[in-house]
Structure 1
Amino acid sequence: MSATQGLLWLLALIALGLCLKRSVSMAIRAGRDGAHSLVRVLPLFTVALPMAAFLAELVPADIAEGYLGPESGLRGILIASVAGGFIPGGPFVSFPLVLTFTKAGAGVPQMAALVTGWAIYGFHRVIAWEVPVLGWRFVAIRMLAGLALPVLTGLGVSWLLPWFPGALVRP
């Protein structure tokens, strides 16, 4: 078990203790909700992780390195920032793709920009949820306000990377 997993277990046990302190029925309800979420999420993992492993073998290293590699610099950060917005789905799709690109030679700043572009833009989410619920005006203002964030994230990671060697472990 990693330190992160241990910390999460500790926090879960503390939360369980707090629920039990309030009422046993609250703890049972929370446990049932957690189990239902696990049942929903587990099938996604069983598909997403092998998909990422297969994609990692299919993505040509020269393409990943050329467009998104550490030497691609600002151009690679810009490409990754835009590409991130077009990655459909949730973290079960996007994070395995980041691992796929990393294994194929993508750079850490570029992958940070890609994840940030996915989180901020997520065009599939914008079209399916944000525009119908919140309206075009709100979405336009939000997206314009965040326009530079993926690029700034990639540049910031470039600057910080010397202090964090091995920041993205290559699988």
Structure 2
Amino acid sequence: MLYAYLSVLALTLALGVLGHRHEHVRHRAVLQGAWQQLAPLLIRLPIALIAASFLGELIPQALFGRWLGENSGFIGILIASVLGGVLPGGPVVAFPLILVFERAGVGVPQLIALLTGWSCVALHRTLAFELPTLGWPFVWRRWLVSMILVPMAGLIALAWL
């Protein structure tokens, strides 16, 4: 987590220096845009983390261990792939839930399949945005590829980790 933070900080500083060298970049407008994106997260993220923590307490950890734990193997990867595909919401909802799953004993390969399923399949985003915009022929083809790639990510993690 520290490395990710330091990487983003270094990138931000580098972009700030580059922006400072160009006179058409307005720093005040950049900071206002950043604040407009950050402000809603300051409200949503703590609430989402608290809700996810409550959810983690309500769901029995034995359930996670049996179906999605390290020893669940390929079946756990398939379940996590499907669960990730139907997991609703954006990152503010999904990542706190994934943290709960991690703390509840879900295996690393299963977490990778879950997160990859959420990223690649995303039923809620597909129905709301992709299908009306791109149509069934494209969505069907993309889903076929994703349905192979998502469990494959978990299997690769299972083999390597």
TM-score bin, normalised by smaller chain: over 0.9
How far the C-alpha of 1:81 sits from its partner, in A, is 0.5
Amino-acid identity (%): 40
**Mapped pair 1:46 → 2:77:** no
Q: State TM-score, norm by structure 1.
A: 0.89
The residue aligned with 2:86 is 86
**Does 117-126 or 51-60 show the bigger shift?**
51-60
> Is the CA contact 1:89–1:124 (under 8 Å) kept in the aligned structure 2?
yes
2:119 match: 119
Listed one character per residue, the Cα deviations across residues 39-72 of structure 1 (whole Å, up to 9, x for unaligned) are 1222121211111221121120111001101111
Q: What is the deviation of 1:95? A: 1.3
Q: What is residue 168 of structure 1 aligned with on the other side?
A: none
Question: CA–CA distance in 2 between the matches of 1:4 and 1:80?
Answer: 25
1:7-34: per-residue Cα shift (whole Å, max 9, x none)?
A: 2212111111111111265322211111
- CA shift, 1:116, in A, is 0.7
Which structure 2 residues correspond to residues 1-80 of structure 1 after superposition, within 5 A?
A: 2-23=2-23, 25-80=25-80
Question: Equivalents in 1 of 2:7, 2:100: separation in Å?
Answer: 27
Following TM superposition, where does structure 1 have runs of at least 4 consecutive aligned residues deviating by more than 3 angstroms? none
* Count of residue pairs the alignment pairs up: 161
Name the amino acid aligned to 1:147: M
Which residue identity does 1:74 align to in structure 2?
F
User: Structure 2 length as normaliser, TM-score?
Assistant: 0.94
On the 8 A contact 1:59/1:101 being kept in 2, the answer is no
Deviates more, 1:94-103 or 1:24-33: 24-33
In structure 2, give the amino acid aligned to 1:87: L
Which deviates the most, 68-77 or 98-107? 98-107
Q: Extract unaligned runs of 5+ from structure 1.
A: 162-171
User: Which amino acid is 1:78 matched to?
Assistant: L
In 1, the alpha carbon distance for the partners of 2:74 and 2:25 equals: 54
CA distance in structure 2 between the aligned counterparts of 1:91 and 1:47, rounded to whole angstroms: 13
Gaps of 5+ in 2: none
Take 1:62 and 1:128, find their aligned partners in 2: how far apart are those partners?
Answer: 34
SS of 1:148's equivalent? Answer: helix
Deviation (angstroms), 1:100: 0.9
Cα drift, residue 77 of structure 1? 0.3
Q: In the alignment, what sits opposite 1:135?
A: 135
- Are residue 156 (structure 1) and residue 156 (structure 2) matched? yes
